[in-house]
A and B are shown apart, each in its own frame.
Chain A
């Protein structure tokens, strides 16, 4: 069975500092991993994905994620946080064989000026 875990309910960072939002996964087969962001009263917006290839994946709005197979992790990162990055972030794994997703419980990112 596919699953992801987001160990932190909330992450607080100061504007301009680097940020990391953690995600670990458990899959059978090759992992297809995704990060989505959700702003209040909105749907989910795609940030980036890892299917295969380089372990460092670059995505939208300056975000990137590092895939680590030995640690079964897919942490979301950004070198310099913005106040506008404050939102709810979800890690997801795609089911092997079907285009449906299993989401983590979400991490609320607070970026303070």
Chain B
């Protein structure tokens, strides 16, 4: 039973560039959430996708966007990269976005994004 997989594992970009991160959810899960974890901090919720739509969004600018595909996989896109975007980006999957989702989210190992 494959868990949550993310690619790439590491990425180096320069300011102003654009980046796309990818996530495949755990088998049987249909909801994907993205988190940003800056060094020394806890993960911060970016947004959540369910049924190919953004359902919830955290306090992140429009430079952060996403997409969910029919097979439930997801992409996180960040435009006009800033130095402050350097972080570990975590993808988490779960079954359902709502109250029925009392099960824990399952996390991938993340993509380490470094902005030079």
Contacts and interface: CB of A to CB of B under 8 A. Distances in A.
Q: What 3 pairs between A and B have smallest CB-CB spacing?
A: A99-B101, A103-B42, A43-B107
Given A98-B98, A99-B105, A105-B42, A43 B110 contact: yes
Interface stretch (B14-22, B71-79, B89-97): B89-97
A99 B94 contact: yes
B13 interface: no
Contacts, number: 68
Contact of B56 (A46, A92, A98, A104): A98
Contacts of A102: 45
A90 interface: yes
17 contacts: A34-B104, A36-B104, A36-B107, A43-B4, A44-B107, A98-B98, A99-B31, A99-B33, A99-B97, A101-B33, A101-B43, A101-B92, A103-B44, A104-B42, A105-B41, A106-B41, A106-B42
B45 A44 contact: no
A81 B110 CA distance: 27
Contacts of B110: 42-43
B108 A43 contact: yes
Q: At the interface, is chain B mostly helix, strand, loop or mixed?
A: loop
B40 to A, nearest CB: 8
A44 B55 CA distance: 23
A36 B110 CA distance: 15
B68 interface: no
B2 interface: no
Candidate in A32, A43, A45, A51 with the most chain B CB atoms within 10 angstroms = A43
A45 B99 contact: no
A45 B110 CA distance: 12
A92 B33 CA distance: 15
